[in-house]
Structure 1
Amino acid sequence: MPTCQSTNDEAAALLQQNPHTPEGTCLITDTQTAGRGQRGNTWEAASGQNLTFSLILKPVFVTATAQFQLNVAITLAIAELLGNVYAINDVRIKWPNDIYVKEQKICGILIENILQGAQIGQSIVGIGLNINQINFGNPRATSLALLRGTTTTLPEVFGHLCKLIEKYYLQLRAGNYTTLKAKYLQQLYRRGDLANFADAAGQPFEGEIIGINDTGQLAVQTNNTLRYFSFKEIVYL
């Protein structure tokens, strides 16, 4: 699509019209005018310079309580793309849905699951990956071009990423949760570092990210207490 408000919204509309839309269907656009992030934030992307797309998956083998495992698989695919294919150093997965290089964001992910009973029926995986954009309103944003000093064709990056998503998706389908989680923890942003956060009430606190639990909550050690946070319950300061 040359332009749309949100590829995730377009994918949701497609599934509503045709619930039997094949798994692997991808909606990609040059210009996304209302891309959304985890907290409802908009996604800044210059037209035709970045990858903005949504992938329809049907991970019926994943239970509702384990749905964060899909986030693990997708973020690992993107981290491997940047670190192994394009030799970017210091790639980190920022819980729950971002990819950082050092202290700058290069990718945002928004996964919206449609549950069927105790299982995931369908998933819409929205990805915004900064490729060739070099000017950002947010100083904490970066791109492949800024990091490598050269542009890269979008179809090339997209092809590599699709192969890696398939690789990790098949590992997820095989039930390799322990292996995937261990690799995820190795690349988890700020893990093991004493850092400042705020809770859902806006109360600041100091803590150390330990990891995630089986449902995908972030585990943070604060003084002598291990606290667990769900989406939107903790803010990085």
Structure 2
Amino acid sequence: MYKIYPKTLFLGQKIQYLPSCQSTNDEAATLIAQTDPAEGTLVVTDNQMAGRGQRGNQWEAKSGQNLTASLILKPTFLSASEQFWLNIAISLGIYDLLQPLVGDALRIKWPNDVYVGDYKLGGILIENTLYSYNIAWSVVGMGLNINQTDFSYSTATSLQQQSPLPNGYDVAGLLSRLCETLEQRYLQLRSGQRDTLKISYLQILYRYQEEHLFEREGQYFRGTIIGVDSTGRLAIADHEQVRYFGFKEVSFV
């Protein structure tokens, strides 16, 4: 399985397939520690038993029904303070794959969840290894709900639920196409096209320029997302001031 042939320069040209594993991110980190893997190497599994999400959450995915993979990159052109630019490029690559299939309700929820309307279709977990002031390695974990149709969380959804096909989706075929869209966005980032990426990212950001309720340290407030700064902090306009929040400092309500 997963003999894919993406039309890419390097991304997805080498694949390590595991029928089952605890975490593809952990397996990718082990590859980095023990070998010198080629940039663009993918670690893919049918059954991820202990997938992780942001804030330590566990990722729920039934065996063989979804896309669970980790991508190894070497974004040495990014400093440690520029890590969020990789989130932007990866988010856009995933959006480019899914938007033609599910339509304009697709959004990226800051910092790195994939939503259709108010339902979560997938998530991204990027773990970086630093060398001096720059990123040496990045492991990009991706979990996308493809053919699964029953979830323990009422807010979860899948590609099959949003845009059903009689026999479901070809997960390997989607992974091959994802390699292509991810590489296009990554090469944009590597060539310095940050303004283009930022504009595209804000256009697909969940609840962008809409007033909503947020929670911080048990306190609720109304605000409007107006952007993301260069370090990845979410900018929320609260009355006449703009407040900036890191990954674990504010929650959507």
Normalising by the smaller structure, the TM-score range is: over 0.9
Percent identity over paired residues: 52
2:135 is equivalent to residue 135 of structure 1: no
2:205 is equivalent to residue 188 of structure 1: yes
Q: 1:156 aligns with which of 139, 160, 173?
A: 173
Look up the SS of the partner of 1:100 in the other structure: strand
Look up the SS of the partner of 2:55 in the other structure: coil
1:175 aligned residue: 192
**Whole-Å Cα distance in 2 between the matches of residues 44 and 181 of structure 1?**
30
Look up the SS of the partner of 2:54 in the other structure: coil
Look up the SS of the partner of 2:209 in the other structure: coil
Give the structure-2-normalised TM-score.
0.91
**Whole-Å Cα distance in 2 between the matches of residues 87 and 27 of structure 1?**
26
2:23 aligned residue: 6
Q: 1:96 aligns with which of 103, 108, 111?
A: 111
**Whole-Å Cα distance in 2 between the matches of residues 172 and 66 of structure 1?**
11
Give how far 1:89 is off: 2.9
CA deviation string 1:69-90 (max 9, x = no partner): 0000000011111113x25331
**Whole-Å Cα distance in 1 between the matches of residues 143 and 214 of structure 2?**
25
**Whole-Å Cα distance in 2 between the matches of residues 11 and 149 of structure 1?**
32
1:123 aligned residue: 138
Look up the SS of the partner of 2:78 in the other structure: coil
What amino acid maps onto 1:136 in structure 2?
A: F
Bigger Cα displacement from structure 2, 121-130 vs 5-14: 5-14
- Aligned alpha-carbon RMSD (Å): 0.9
Q: 1:23 aligns with which of 31, 36, 39?
A: 39
2:214 aligned residue: 197
**Whole-Å Cα distance in 2 between the matches of residues 81 and 64 of structure 1?**
28
Q: 1:40 aligns with which of 51, 56, 59?
A: 56
What amino acid maps onto 2:145 in structure 1?
A: N
Look up the SS of the partner of 2:142 in the other structure: strand
Q: Is the 8 A contact 2:97 2:181 kept in 1?
A: yes
2:182 aligned residue: 165
CA deviation string 1:214-237 (max 9, x = no partner): 111100011111000111111111
What amino acid maps onto 2:20 in structure 1?
A: T
What amino acid maps onto 1:66 in structure 2?
A: E
**Whole-Å Cα distance in 1 between the matches of residues 195 and 227 of structure 2?**
13
Q: 2:93 aligns with which of 58, 77, 80?
A: 77
**Whole-Å Cα distance in 2 between the matches of residues 113 and 135 of structure 1?**
33
Q: Is the 8 A contact 1:88 1:147 kept in 2?
A: no
For structure 2, the residue ranges without an aligned partner over 5 or more in a row are 1-17
2:235 is equivalent to residue 228 of structure 1: no
For structure 1, the residue ranges without an aligned partner over 5 or more in a row are none
What amino acid maps onto 1:146 in structure 2?
A: Q
What amino acid maps onto 1:144 in structure 2?
A: L
**Whole-Å Cα distance in 2 between the matches of residues 29 and 114 of structure 1?**
23
Q: Is the 8 A contact 2:102 2:159 kept in 1?
A: no
**Whole-Å Cα distance in 2 between the matches of residues 108 and 202 of structure 1?**
25
CA deviation string 1:162-217 (max 9, x = no partner): 00000000000001111100000001100111111111x22211111001011111
Give how far 1:13 is off: 1.5
Look up the SS of the partner of 1:2 in the other structure: strand
